[in-house]
Structure 1
Amino acid sequence: MIGCVNHPPSERPDARRLQGSEYVDDDGSPDPALRTALAGYDAGTTPYPAVLAALAESRLVVPVVAILGETGEGAAGADGAALVTDKSSDMAAVLLTGADGRMALLAFSGIDSLAAWDPQARPVPVAAPLAAATAVQEGAAALVVDVAGPHQLVLAEDDLHRIAAGWRPVRLQDGGWGWLGAAPEGE
């Protein structure tokens, strides 16, 4: 847990606590099982449900970028014109808008694939179900993994919602695939 500097949470009942990341020691390396599944899917040797199973168990890196909020005028520059300065900025996850107007949240299998897309983006490691849930909450139609490669995957529709709900594909005894997860309340 993170508390306020110089003011322990016990002394500030109104202080909000932030949950620490489960990926504190994460170095941004891609999950080998996920990368192998993505490469196999691209090559046609790994079935889609197996890729979903690898994805559901993996950590993704969601890019966060600074968005300029309010600007102001600073001291005059060499030409005498006032310089524009940042007064505020916000950090935001990246949503990509497709030609059809639908949005997708971007996520990456590792920091190397994030850097290939935008080396200035800040990496935030999250569990794949959380990335999918964020996409759903933001009204995105999909989660796009590794948009700049090496192997892109689009998670959309029912599969996006199932992963977001914490469900995962499992291999059945007959060799097929099914979903394993908790039933919604009341069912």
Structure 2
Amino acid sequence: MAAHRELPGHIAAALAGAGGPADSAGRPWEGRSLAGDDAHIHNFEHDDGEASPALAAALAALRDGSGGEAGVLAALATARVFIPIVAQLAEEGEGHDGLHADKQADMALVTIKAPDGRMALPVFSSAGALERWHPEARPVATYAARAALSAVSEQAQLMVLDPGSDFTFVVRRAPLWALAQQKEWTPSYEDPAVAEAFRASGQWHPAVGAIQVRRGSGVVSRDAQGVEVAGGGIGPELCVELGLRPGLDSAQVSALVSELQRNWAGNETLAEGVDSIEVKVTLFHD
């Protein structure tokens, strides 16, 4: 995620022909401050554009191993972030020389595509991080919870904090929903209710000896230098270890796993609390 810097083609094309460094009224973004008389552009008085100290501390704690993903989400719950807005051509006219020119341009929220194909809303902890990612995007300040609501309204399943920076943190679907609803979030791999829902889901089948959960391989991410960070990854976030008793052939195992997955998808606790899983089948002995 950290290496991804380019916008989707249609956004890049709109920027090329619709305003770019100026707003839809032709007023340049360059030279605007983030405080004082220009504060109305983002509705945050006296905002210096720097990252929230609490959010910066939570991200630092995650990276050095003294904190976790829950700490980052707790800091995001009250943090101001910046979302990028770009000019998008709404109506095109033809000039006297036959060349097409902007007749009307609207401002559009930027979304990006994650490596797994899902749509994501990029947000930035500071105005500088946004400017480095896309110098021509307008930084609009908002609370992270409202940004999460915007992501949901844009049908984005993820929110990506500081793409293209030294460290990028992915807010997966379950914490994104919790943030949008301003609810406290517990990672699925630390949630007793999630573990119990998985354990209970196998009680109906005699071949299921045990179901245990642990942190999935997709929780881990890497910073721009390739250093591993124990959080912020795109997923899968949860590993489900399915212990089966001997006696099933491969077709029966496949059918049982498929049936369990359908049950998991219909379980409200799991649907709300888990973004993505990986299943590991093991042999269980009484």
**If the length of structure 2 is used for normalisation, what is the TM-score?**
0.48
Is 2:86 the partner of 1:65?
yes
1:141 matched to which residue of 2? 157
Higher RCO, Cα 8 Å, sep 6+: 1
Equivalent position SS for 1:87: strand
One-letter code aligned to 2:106: D
Are 2:69 and 1:48 equivalent residues in the alignment? yes
Structure 1 residue 150, shift from structure 2 partner: 3.0
Cα drift, residue 159 of structure 1: 0.8
> 1:31-42 maps to which residues of 2 (within 5 A)?
31-42=52-63
Cα RMSD after superposing both structures: 2.3
CA contact (8 A) 1:66 1:91 kept: yes
Contact 2:83-2:147 at 8 Å conserved across structures:
yes
1:70 CA displacement: 1.9
Which residue number in structure 2 is paired with residue 4 of structure 1?
Answer: none
Kindly report which structure 2 residues correspond to 1:145-164, keeping only aligned pairs within 5 A, or say none.
145-164=161-180
Q: Secondary structure at the match of 1:92?
A: strand
1:104 maps to 120
Consecutive unaligned residues in structure 2, runs of 5 or more: 1-40, 193-286
Give the equivalent residue in structure 2 for 1:120: 136
Cα distance in 2 for partners of 1:63, 1:137 equals 16
In structure 2, how many angstroms separate the alpha carbons of the residues matched to 1:83 and 1:89?
Answer: 17
1:26 aligns with 2:26: no
Letter of the aligned partner of 2:130 in structure 1? Answer: L
2:106 aligns with: 90
Larger radius of gyration: 2
- What secondary structure does 1:70 align onto? strand
Aligned residues: 149
1:126-181 CA deviation, whole Å, 9 max, x = no partner?
001000111111111111010011321111122111110012359xxxxx999xxx
The separation in 2 between residues aligned to 1:40 and 1:113, in whole angstroms, is: 19
Match of 1:165 in 2: 181
Calculate the TM-score normalised by the size of structure 1: 0.72
Runs of 5+ unmatched residues, structure 1:
1-19, 77-81, 171-175, 179-187
1:55 is aligned with what amino acid?
L
Alignment check: 8 A CA contact 2:58 2:71 kept: yes
Distance in 2 separating the partners of 1:166 and 1:124 = 20
- Post-superposition shift, 1:45? 2.8
Shift of 1:41: 1.6
Are residues 117 and 165 of structure 1, via their aligned partners in 2, closer, same or farther at CA, if it must alter by over 3 Å?
Answer: same
User: By percentage of residues, which structure has more helix?
Assistant: 2
Identical aligned residues as a percent: 40
Task: Name the amino acid aligned to 2:134.
Answer: D
1:16-61 per-residue CA deviation (whole Å, 9 max, x = no partner) reads xxxx965133231111221222133233332111111111110000
